[in-house]
């Protein structure tokens, strides 16, 4: 596997070695030993999966202390634009974001450390999206920041009229009103 650094410290893209032939392909999507040696010492405790259609935007979500989460995300089917926003108040990249296209073709993964808001938009007809978390979901400690805050300047790569959001995701605060970590 190969680690590709982003412009934000700690947020990295992981590109697996894919072995393919006329039968199909094989790749190692996760190895605790490799991950701890090459990315971060971490203990993932929960795996999640979602299915969404074109235009669905989920995010930008994070959890507050003491339940902050690091995530390792990937696409099984389809394609997304995945975004991580630095919410760490003492970070030199506070408010900056890293973006990566994840797809069933490129098989890339994105590691998002604690202290980041996370979201994605579906670019294909349908997507199956998986993520590993190092902390359990804690509904009483949810936080989020508005996906279209002009201060963040995120280009979601699809027309605004095609976006599909939950009622909850339509009402998140702007970055300046969000809780920093």
Annotated active-site positions, please?
61, 131
* Pairing of the two strands 116-122 and 79-86: antiparallel
**Nearest 5°: CA angle at 55, between 106 and 165?**
125
Q: Let me know if 23 is exposed, middle or buried by CB neighbors in 10 A (0-12, 13-18, 19+).
A: exposed
DSSP string, 6-38: -SSTT-EEEE---EEETTEEE-----HHHHHHH
144: left (phi over 0), alpha (psi -120 to 50) or beta: beta
- CA separation for the pair 124, 106 (Å, rounded): 14
User: In the block, which residue shows the tokens 């999640």?
Assistant: 48
């Amino acid at each position: 596997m190969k680690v590709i650094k982003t412009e934000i410290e700690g947020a990295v893209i992981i590109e697996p070695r894919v072995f393919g032939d006329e039968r199909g392909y094989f790749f190692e999507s996760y190895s605790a030993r490799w991950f701890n040696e090459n990315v971060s010492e971490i203990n993932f405790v929960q795996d999640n999966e979602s299915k969404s259609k074109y235009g669905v935007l989920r995010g930008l979500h994070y959890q507050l202390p003491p339940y902050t989460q690091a995530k390792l995300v990937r696409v099984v089917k389809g394609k997304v634009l995945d975004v991580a926003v630095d919410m760490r108040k003492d970070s030199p990249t506070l408010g900056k974001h890293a973006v990566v296209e994840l797809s069933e073709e490129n098989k890339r993964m994105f590691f998002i450390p604690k202290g980041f808001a996370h979201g994605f938009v579906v670019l294909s007809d349908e997507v199956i999206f998986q993520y590993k978390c190092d902390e359990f979901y804690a509904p009483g400690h949810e936080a989020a920041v508005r996906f279209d805050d002009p201060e963040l300047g995120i280009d979601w790569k699809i027309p605004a009229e095609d976006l599909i959001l939950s009622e909850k995701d339509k009402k998140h605060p702007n970055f300046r009103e969000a809780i920093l970590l």
